[in-house]
Structure 1
Amino acid sequence: MQLQRLLSYTRKAVDEYNMIQEGDHIAVGISGGKDSLTLLYALHGLRRFYPNKFELSAITVDLGFDDFDLSPIQQLCSEMEVPYKIVKSDIYNILFNVRKESNPCSLCAKMRKGALNEAIKEMGCNKVAYAHHKDDIIETMLLSLIFEGRFHSFSPRTYLDRMDLTVIRPLMYVDEMDVIGFKNKYNLPVVKSKCPVDGYTKRQYAKDLLRQLNTEHPGARERMFHAILSGNLSGWPERTIRVREKSDID
């Protein structure tokens, strides 16, 4: 995927769900994976021409894994002139050595987000951008149906009143395959996850299920995404459709 196409998808999401206002300071949550680095490229590129001017910073919560080298990301942020903060934590030790959690994902996410949000507020940011793409949204819907008995997925824009912080998801229209293509084309400095349960989660189950359903019933994936967009899901903001000119991203 070319950068121009990535910017077009990002602009579409930002416009339709009113994600960015004048004067925003947005923190990009960087895990080290392909998704978050693609998001960094997207918002860095969007900032050049988007009519609402905004600041951009990047942040990583270091969970405490051995040999988790973030220097390639530090170098990328330096080249982009994007301030980058690394938050040290003892989350890995707490989960796997102290508590010996067999299903650590939920608690890990809560602890990571707590550390992330606190640091973001200290940085003076009023928004945080997560790198969830189209496939993530559909997979979350499947997980909600199967394990919670409800039709739900995370929202493109969510206000966290306790933190006075807004979460946005600008990659919501980007396919995971396009993210993979973008990573390969632009040689993104991906830092591989050190998590011992990576690839063995319910999320991976939903990813495999979605792939199987779309293989057996071509187009099922897009139909599910359309159902989410038109499903009037609780917590989702109103969608604004705007006809954009080609010059918007030139």
Structure 2
Amino acid sequence: MQKLLSRFRKAVTDFNLIQSGDKIAVGLSGGKDSITLLQLLAAYKRFSPEPFELIAITIDPGSGANFNDMIEMCKDLNVPYYLFKTRIQEIVFDIRKEKNPCSLCANLRRGSLNDHAKKLGCNKIALGHHKNDAIETLLLSMFYEGRINTFLPKTYLDRSDITIIRPMIYIDEQQVITLAEKYKFPIVVSECPANGFTKREYMKNLTYKLEEDIPGLKNNLLNSLSNTEQLNIWFKENKES
């Protein structure tokens, strides 16, 4: 836990993620990443130089999952918990019958989370994206979209007047897995029909395989995202070409 808190605090400092008086909502899906984020934020709150409020919000897509153990965990952490039920799964799979459901599902869940967080007086939402997620997003954008792009550690959404923060971007997924197993976090198994069959899952497996052949690959890719001094990309002088 201390190693993860150290990397967590470095991300908070490097990107100025938390200020005094913030009210932060954790998007608590029930997966290992969001539960780890909540645990780290609750621990960080105890010694943070900037006092802030912390709540947890679960957007239930309509999967019928049992969140009781997670609710008890929030009580133990003294973190107010809010559960909002939706019909997102029905909309995506039964009504829209999406062949590539992940994008629509993510957009609907994000919109619902943003709306509820704002109504509860939050000015920030914390998401449990870690180092591997940033790398996978980068490679997905390059391989499938032809652009160099990944999510930012901090993003202000002007439409909803809320800021998204990702304090776990320096933390490796294997560290999250180890922590979740050690402390027996009450993980809610995903009931999504598309779980395990996505492009992101393919990219995740690919990066693990590459890491076996190229030690330090993930760290190098992560470092490249902040290495602006050595960014060499092509700029066309003739914009019409």
**TM-score of the superposition, structure 2-length normalised?**
0.93
> Superposition RMSD on alpha carbons, in Å?
0.9
**Which letter maps to 2:196?**
G
Report SS of the residue matched to 1:60.
Answer: strand
Instruction: State the match for 1:210 in structure 2.
Output: 207
Structure 2: 5+ residue stretches without partners? 230-241
1:231 Cα shift? 3.8
1:177 Cα shift? 0.2
Which residue of the other structure, out of 214, 218, 224, is the alignment partner of 1:227?
224
Which residue of the other structure, out of 75, 100, 110, is the alignment partner of 2:97?
100
**Which letter maps to 1:214?**
E
The answer to whether 1:194 aligns with 2:203 is no
Counterpart CA distance in 2 for 1:108 and 1:78 is 29
**Which letter maps to 2:106?**
A
Instruction: State the match for 2:61 in structure 1.
Output: 63
The answer to whether 1:147 aligns with 2:148 is no
1:114 Cα shift? 0.8
1:7 Cα shift? 1.2
Report SS of the residue matched to 1:187.
Answer: coil
Find runs of 4+ consecutive structure 1 residues off by over 3 angstroms: none
Counterpart CA distance in 2 for 1:190 and 1:87 is 18
Counterpart CA distance in 1 for 2:162 and 2:3 is 29
Counterpart CA distance in 2 for 1:203 and 1:176 is 14
Counterpart CA distance in 2 for 1:158 and 1:192 is 29
Structure 1: 5+ residue stretches without partners? 233-250
1:222 Cα shift? 1.4
Q: How does 1:1-250 map to 2 (within 5 A)?
A: 3-66=1-64, 68-231=65-228
**Which letter maps to 2:199?**
K
Q: 6-15 vs 212-221, which deviates more?
A: 212-221
1:12 Cα shift? 0.5
Shift in alpha-carbon separation, 1:231–1:139, aligned structure 2, 3 A: farther
Counterpart CA distance in 2 for 1:96 and 1:200 is 15
**May I ask how many residue pairs the two structures share in their alignment?**
229
Identity of aligned residues (%): 49
**Which letter maps to 1:21?**
Q
Higher RCO (C-alpha 8 Å, min separation 6): 1
1:98 Cα shift? 1.3
Counterpart CA distance in 2 for 1:221 and 1:49 is 30
1:144 Cα shift? 0.7
